[in-house]
Amino acid sequence: MRVAVVGAGLGGLLAAANLLERGYKVDVFEKLPFNGGRFTNFHYKGYEISTGALHMIPHGSKGPLAKMLRKVGAKVEIVDSKPNGTALYRGEEIKVSKKTFPLKSRLKFALYCLKNVFREVKLSELEKNLDEFSAKFLRAFLGWSLSLTPSQLSLSDVYPIYEATYTLGGPGIPIGGCKAVVDALLEVMESYDCRVKREKVRAIRMESYGLSLHFRNTSERFDAVVSDAGPVETYRLAGLNVPKLEESRGIKYSIALKEPLIDHTGVMFTLDTRRICGVNQVTNADPNLGERHFLMAHQPMITSNVKFEIAEGLKDLKEILKGYEYEVLVIQSFSDGWPVNRARAGRDCSNETPVKGLYMVGDGAKGEDIEVDGIAIGIERVVKEIEKEVEKR
Ligand SMILES: Cc1cc2nc3c(=O)[nH]c(=O)nc-3n(C[C@H](O)[C@H](O)[C@H](O)COP(=O)(O)OP(=O)(O)OC[C@H]3O[C@@H](n4cnc5c(N)ncnc54)[C@H](O)[C@@H]3O)c2cc1C
């Protein structure tokens, strides 16, 4: 069985390592000059600036990604966050646990869950009924983790994520940042003699014998194709009607700090801000990620005016970092085909496509969890589907 993987983002590399481990012959094609897509880092001014992710794995060493990395033999050390999160509220940093939220708001949340788990009632309805701290925390949490606001989400969109967080716990930081995960997967692939090929896939066609991939001047035959290019690009390549997906957009700030702002490895959610929803100081988990203290801040894009959004974010940073000596190293905005998430939370596409033998993995085709942990769940499904196909032959 010969399988092609389109794209060497985290989804593509993880899928490739899984398929190789199960004995398939795999070819990976990537159009960019580097691997890892939105989950790798570049060294800049002494700091490991990530191409996308905030150097965090949503459920740390206990989540589906960590489990899958161990299974394929990818060696990555993950530092689980301790505590999972704190909140900066009225100038004070508060440790967040269940008890931080007033009992009345907790009861309202439970009631809202019971009433609306299968209904399309927006979280803004819940937000209205909460005390100020809980409402602001809800907004910051959704903005940080999903780049969305309560009015864009209903409980059914986020319930699987809430459940997974409750059972598996909060985030972790891989030693070496996102790139360490990518490098470990490339090493696994190399042990099977599989290296990424620098080729842009221009079309995917269904043929009598299976599928063919088309490049600038050549084409190759495969039994199955796993695409990490996202639903829109995958459907376009296959000549299908492109699905309408609403991406979530955001802005990320990489900041060098002379003195530390926080003393832990978790996220500090910022509750009294215009845009910035939280910060993490990744050098607390891995000092080699920066020459000094390395802080990352994230905000959703509320309007489509990038300049305005950045101006609002920078005002927030000025307030959060009042009295600190800092340098904003890089500001990255994520939208228009290179977003935070290709599909809004809870709206990912199926891993299967209308074309037999063509599957999708990665962002936009995640399983019932968040970000790279959701990607791992989707890949597990695709590998099972391919195995079923092989058994039928
Ligand atoms: C600001 C920000 C913060 C985030 N924070 C986190 C976080 O802390 N933790 C977390 O888990 N997730 C986070 N995410 C999300 C995470 O980065 C993504 O879910 C993940 O990187 C997506 O991986 P992917 O492989 O699905 O897609 P991509 O990384 O987009 O990879 C797709 C690859 O396919 C290639 N490709 C596309 N078309 C073709 C073609 N025709 N031919 C060949 N190659 C092609 C692309 O060049 C790319 O390399 C964040 C994202 C952003 C933007």
Domain map (residue ranges) of the chain: 2-78+175-246+346-392, 105-168
pLDDT at 376: 98
Q: Which residues sit with their C-beta closer than 6 Å to ligand 1?
A: 6-12, 29-32, 37-39, 52-54, 56-58, 200-201, 228-229, 233, 250, 252, 298, 334, 340, 362-363, 371-372, 375
Architecture of domain 2-78+175-246+346-392 in this structure:
3-Layer(bba) Sandwich (3.50)
Q: Residue with the nearest Cα to atom 53 of ligand 1?
A: 340
Per-residue model confidence (pLDDT) at position 391? 85
Per-residue model confidence as pLDDT tens digits over 68-81 = 999 999 999 999 99
The protein residue with its alpha carbon nearest to ligand 1, atom 1, reads 52
pTM: predicted TM-score of the whole model, two decimal places: 0.97
Whole-angstrom CA distances from 93 to 208, 278, 285, 294 are 62, 12, 19, 19
Integer CA distances (angstroms), 160 to 157, 172, 282, 369, in order: 8, 19, 27, 6
Can you tell me the distance from the alpha carbon of 302 to that of 307, in angstroms, rounded to the nearest whole number?
A: 12
Give Cα separations from 25 to 16, 45, 189 (angstroms): 9, 40, 11
Residue 39 Cα to ligand 1 middle (Å)? 6
> Would you give per-residue pLDDT tens digits along the chain (393 residues)?
999 999 999 999 999 999 999 999 999 999 999 999 999 999 999 999 999 999 999 999 999 999 999 999 999 999 999 998 999 999 999 999 989 999 999 999 999 988 887 788 899 999 999 999 999 999 999 999 999 999 999 988 888 888 898 899 999 999 999 999 999 999 999 999 999 999 999 999 999 888 999 999 999 999 999 999 999 999 999 999 998 999 999 999 999 999 999 999 999 999 999 999 999 999 999 999 999 999 999 999 999 999 999 999 999 999 999 999 999 999 999 998 899 999 999 899 999 999 999 999 999 999 999 999 999 999 999 999 999 988 887
Residue nearest to atom 34 of ligand 1 (CA): 7
Question: Largest Cα–Cα distance in the chain?
Answer: 68
Q: Count Cβ atoms within 10 A of the Cβ of residue 91 and give its class: 0-12 exposed, 13-18 middle, 19 or more buried.
A: exposed
| Ligand 1 atom nearest residue 340's Cα | 53
Distance 352 CA to ligand 1 centre (A): 19
CA of 130 to the centre of ligand 1 (A): 35
With CA atoms as reference, report the closest residue to 84 among 263, 252, 264.
264
- DSSP-based helix, strand, coil % in the chain, nearest 5: 35, 25, 40
